[in-house]
Chains A and B, each alone.
Chain A
Amino acid sequence: MRKKKNWKLEILGILLGILWLLPFYLMFVNSFKTKKEIFTDVTSPPELWSFDNYITAFEELDFMQTLFNSLLITVSSVLLIIISSAMAAYALSRAKSRISTILFFTFVAAMLIPFQSVMIPLVTVFGQFEMLNRGGLIFMYIGFGASLSIFLYHGALNNIPRSLDEAARIDGANRWQVFWHIIFPMLKPITVTVAILNIIWIWNDFLLPSLVINQTGSETIPLKMFFFFGEYTKQWHLALAGLTLAIVPVIIFYFFAQRAIIKGVSDGAVK
Chain B
Amino acid sequence: MAKLLMDQLTKTYDNKVTAVENFNLTVEDEEFIVFVGPSGCGKSTTLRMIAGLEDISAGTFSIDGKRMNDVEPKDRDIAMVFQNYALYPHMTVYENMAFSLKLKKMPKEEIKERVRNAAEILGLMEYLNRKPKALSGGQRQRVALGRAIVRDAKLFLMDEPLSNLDSKLRVQMRTEISKLHQRLKTTTIYVTHDQTEAMTMATRIVIMKDGVIQQVGTPKEVYDQPDNIFVAGFIGSPAMNFFKGRIEGDSFVMGQTKLLIPKSAMPEGRDGQEIVIGLRPEHITHKPHAQVDVLEVDLDVVELMGSEYMVYSKIEGHSFVGRVDANFELAAGTVFPMLFEMDKARFFDPETEVRIK
Contact = CB atoms under 8 A, between A and B. Distances in A.
B84 interface: yes
A167 B89 contact: no
Interface stretch (B72-80, B212-220, B321-329, B335-343): B72-80
B89 A171 contact: no
Given A163-B82, A163-B84, A181-B99, A170 B73 contact: yes
Given A181-B99, A185-B90, A186-B89, A171 B147 contact: yes
Contact of A167 (B72, B80, B90, B103): B80
Interface stretch (A101-109, A172-180, A239-247, A258-266): A172-180
A94 interface: no
Contacts of B51: 166, 170
A186 B89 CA distance: 8
A169 B86 contact: no
A197 interface: no
Contact of B82 (A167, A174, A177): A167
Interface of B: 51-53, 72-74, 78-80, 82-84, 86, 88-90, 99-100, 103-104, 147, 151
A174 B103 CA distance: 10
B86 A172 contact: no
A170 B103 contact: no
A167 B86 contact: yes
A23 interface: no
B80 A170 contact: yes
A137 B296 CA distance: 92
A157 to B, nearest CB: 14
A71 interface: no
A171 to B, nearest CB: 4
A168 interface: yes
Q: Determine which residue in B84, B99, B147, B151 has the highest number of CB atoms from chain A within 10 A of its CB, and name it.
A: B99
A169 B74 contact: yes
Nearest to A186: B90
A172 B89 CA distance: 18
Nearest to B90: A185
Nearest to B147: A171
A170 B99 contact: no
20 contacts: A161-B86, A163-B82, A163-B84, A163-B86, A166-B82, A167-B88, A167-B147, A169-B72, A170-B73, A170-B74, A172-B74, A172-B104, A173-B74, A173-B99, A177-B103, A181-B99, A185-B90, A186-B88, A186-B90, A188-B90
Interface of A: 161, 163-164, 166-174, 177, 181-182, 185-186, 188
Contacts of A170: 51-53, 73-74, 78-80
Contacts of B147: 167, 171
A169 B53 CA distance: 9
B53 A166 contact: yes
Contacts of B90: 185-186, 188
A169 B73 contact: yes
Nearest to A160: B89
Given A174-B74, A188-B90, 13 more contacts: A163-B86, A164-B86, A166-B53, A166-B80, A169-B53, A169-B74, A170-B52, A170-B53, A170-B74, A171-B74, A171-B151, A181-B99, A186-B89
Q: Determine which residue in A161, A166, A170 has the highest number of CB atoms from chain B within 10 A of its CB, and name it.
A: A170
A166 B86 contact: yes
Q: Which 8 A-B residue pairs are closest in the complex by CB-CB distance? A: A171-B100, A167-B86, A163-B86, A172-B103, A172-B74, A185-B90, A163-B82, A169-B73
Nearest to B151: A171
Nearest to A161: B84
Contacts of B100: 171-172
B94 to A, nearest CB: 15
A231 B104 CA distance: 67
A171 B96 CA distance: 10
A171 B82 contact: no
Contacts of B82: 163, 166-167
Contacts of B79: 170
Contacts of B104: 172
